[in-house]
Copies of this chain bind each other. A is one copy, B any other.
Amino acid sequence: MAEKLYLGLDIGGTAIKAGICDGEGRLLHAVEGPTEGGEGAERILQNAARCARRCVEESQYGWDRIAAVGAGVPGFLDAVRGIVKFSPNLPLAGFPLRDRLAEALGKPVAVGNDANAAALGEAWSGAGRGVASCVLYTLGTGVGGGIVVNGQLIEGFTGMGGELGHMKVVPDLEAIQCGCGQKGCLETVSSATGIVRMARGAVERGDRTSLALVENLTAKDVFDAAKAGDEAARRIIERAALYLGKSMALVAVIVNPELFIIGGGLSQAGEFLIEQVREAFRKCALERAQEGVGIVAAALGNNAGVVGAAGLARRLAS
């Protein structure tokens, strides 16, 4: 019998990616289509199903080879009932995504949070391959995360497992309000949004910095300036790295993973960022909890979500 294959769907704010993986998490074929979230939940469903079918049709594999389908979605899910509880960017609240996708595609379907799916992808066939436990930080507009221990996602009682961006790690005196309503969350500092906010603050304060000349500041501008030796930019990146390291020191005495993986847009800064995070972690973490623990860049890039979604499918069908 031919090896079972798994189809992953990464349903994002603007695009849907569909991909076929083998049992080792190798991405064999992938296609992309639009989400059209503004057109409502039914349109998202249609587009996801269309993207999934097209992926298989354009590949060299038949539908009968697909054992199950997995879908990763931004937001909170009721994984047991397969219903989206809340999605910040898509009109999917209350939508029974799992059952409707299963009906549309005629396959068993698993659904999960997109950051958790990405962690599962990295653990399965990315930077965490062969590692017993790993924690993914996704540094983008916000800070997402996912935790995999012995191949199992720690999704949590209400789906809040691995919500690392909402660890309160910034001291009260320096803490600012987070979108979640709390103050001092990691993502107020260590996300692209946080870095841009700190850079604007430096410019407004009149700090001597080349960033004052940049229009429409982005996190990449701040990284570029820091790499070029701009002192104010350097301090901002150092601060983003410091709180990442502090949060990892906490995770290290709770989950004590073998590996921390840094993904998302900011991870494109590469070793420049990661070396500073390692330094902060070394200073802040209990010695025994950092012994042999690595901090590395994600390996799957934008494919982590679709591979992990296929990983969700594999859990169903194996």
CA distance A246 to B256 in the complex (A): 19
What number of copies of this chain does the assembly contain? 2
- Main SS at interface, chain A: loop
A152 at the interface (CB under 8 A from B): yes
CA distance A87 to B155 in the complex (A): 33
CB-contacts of A142-192 with B (<8 A): 147, 149-150, 152, 154-164, 166-168, 171-172, 180-182
Query: Which of the residues B157, B167, B180, B289 comes within 8 Å of A160, measured between beta carbons?
Result: B289
Evaluate contact between A292 and B157: CB separation under 8 angstroms: yes
Evaluate contact between B255 and A293: CB separation under 8 angstroms: no
A249 at the interface (CB under 8 A from B): yes
A149-B154, A150-B152 known; A256+B161 contact, CB < 8 A: yes
A156-B257, A157-B256, A163-B289 known; A171+B168 contact, CB < 8 A: no
CA distance A154 to B156 in the complex (A): 13
Evaluate contact between A254 and B288: CB separation under 8 angstroms: no
Between A132, A160, A256, the greatest number of chain B beta carbons within 10 A of the residue's beta carbon is seen for A160
Evaluate contact between A254 and B133: CB separation under 8 angstroms: no
Evaluate contact between A252 and B171: CB separation under 8 angstroms: no
Evaluate contact between B255 and A255: CB separation under 8 angstroms: yes
**What is the distance, in angstroms, from A123's C-beta to the closest C-beta of chain B?**
14
A24 at the interface (CB under 8 A from B): no
CA distance A289 to B288 in the complex (A): 29
**What is the distance, in angstroms, from A263's C-beta to the closest C-beta of chain B?**
17
Between A132, A152, A156, A250, the greatest number of chain B beta carbons within 10 A of the residue's beta carbon is seen for A156
Q: Which 5 A-B pairs have the closest CB atoms?
A: A156-B256, A160-B256, A157-B258, A160-B289, A163-B253
Residues of A within 8 A of B (CB): 76, 132-133, 147, 149-150, 152, 154-164, 166-168, 171-172, 180-182, 246, 249-258, 284, 286-289, 291-293
